[in-house]
Structure 1
Amino acid sequence: MNGWTRKNGHVVAELSQQEAAVIRGLVGQIKDMLTARAEETPQDELAELTGIRTGPSTPPEDRVLGRLLPDFYRRDPDTGETDEEQPEAAGAMRSLYEPELLDTKTGVASVVLDTCPREGGRVVLSGEQADNWMAALNDVRLALGTALDVQDEMPEEPPEDDLRREHLGVYQWLTWVQDSLVDAVSS
């Protein structure tokens, strides 16, 4: 891939078969994780009557999924203190807003899977599709960065014996793909 460019009102790139497979594979995994979380939603008779969906009131236990679906308030990682005056309100907020967040995230993943050619090749995106790609790539980077424990102070080239080395290369490549897409959309 040589990066994204803007042509005739569209954002365009050429993906190799391997690049398309990496993007499709990672976006598909994120979509599967989010879909599984959506299926954990408790059955609610009131929601069935009113059409107002609710979700789980507790955050995901999985660290990666927790990064994709963060709490609706800030928690100090050292002390555990929150900026929420009523801690039970956080569960209510999650229950109300998580279903919409899951729909949005699985929706952007679907757009990527629909527009990324399985065998590689030319990708031509409208402005809205490009926005969806940016959001989905961001979710993949958040998940991968969490799984790999990416830190600000990490060296760009990890030591040869670092087991994360190969995966960090994928993370860095995705960062470049997303940055290139942002530049093309902004130009």
Structure 2
Amino acid sequence: MRKWKRVDTASGPRFRSTLDPHEAALLHNMVTSMVGMLDDREAAAPSDELEQITGIRTGNATPPEDATMSRLLPDFFRPQNNDHPAGSAAADSLNSALRSLHEPEIIDAKREAARRLLDTCPKGGGKFELTEDDANAWVASVNDVRLALGSMLGMGPDGPDRLPPEHPMAGHLDVYQWLTVLQEYLVLGLMGKPIR
């Protein structure tokens, strides 16, 4: 991954970079896998008679059981403490209602960002250019892939920063760090800040 070059044009900024063929293939595979996970989650939503009448889509009312999907679709409300007078049932009920109402839109937004990334990522690697909207979609989609991969790696505030070479996830940590740099450089480009 090369650094992003911001070029200001009459029709708005453009963001240029280059991907090696293996980087483009890796990005394509990870984003496509994430979209598959989102599709599976959406397909698991129960059918709703009210949706058929009103056209208002509803999603799953229960949180994902899979830790990776839970990271992509977290609860909306987390009580500050578990000693709430109404008990944890109130938070669970609120999360269930909000999830049912908003999860379809969130999945759509994540899938649209992923589609834009896949449409603009050069399949065989090479030079490419993004509009500002494309760049924002890349930031969102790369972030989603990082969240999913970070969940699998057990990433938290304290790392891990590195894994022993013989660890089965050692290569995945390198990919996570590469995605972090790719995203950071693009965010700096969007902000118009120089990349050191």
| TM-score, structure 1 as length reference | 0.91
Which residue in 1 is equivalent to 2:44?
Answer: 40
> Which residues of 2 match residues 153-168 of structure 1 at below 5 A?
153-154=158-159, 156-168=161-173
* Alignment match of 2:57 (pick from 49, 53, 58): 53
Deviations 1:71-109 (A, max 9, x none): 111167x96978884532221111001010010011101
CA distance in 1, matches of 2:124, 2:183: 20
CA distance in 1, matches of 2:142, 2:159: 21
Which residue in 2 is equivalent to 1:25?
Answer: 29
* Alignment match of 1:102 (pick from 91, 107, 113): 107
- SS at structure 2 position matched to 1:42: coil
Paired residues in the alignment total 186
> Which residues of 2 match residues 33-182 of structure 1 at below 5 A?
33-74=37-78, 85-154=90-159, 156-182=161-187
- SS at structure 2 position matched to 1:146: helix
- SS at structure 2 position matched to 1:10: strand
Asked whether the 8 Å contact 1:84–1:90 carries over to 2, the reply is no
* Pair 1:123–1:90, CA change in 2 (3 A): same
Asked whether the 8 Å contact 1:141–1:174 carries over to 2, the reply is yes
Deviations 1:109-167 (A, max 9, x none): 11111111110112211111100000000000000000011233235332233332111
- The structure, 1 or 2, with the larger RCO (C-alpha pairs under 8 Å, 6+ apart) is 1
CA distance in 1, matches of 2:19, 2:113: 19
Asked whether the 8 Å contact 2:79–2:91 carries over to 1, the reply is no
Asked whether the 8 Å contact 1:73–1:83 carries over to 2, the reply is no
Deviation of 1:42 (Å):
1.4
Gaps of 5+ in 2: none
Gaps of 5+ in 1: none
Which residue in 2 is equivalent to 1:5?
Answer: 5
Letter in 1 for 2:31: V
| TM-score, structure 2 as length reference | 0.87
* Pair 1:155–1:49, CA change in 2 (3 A): closer
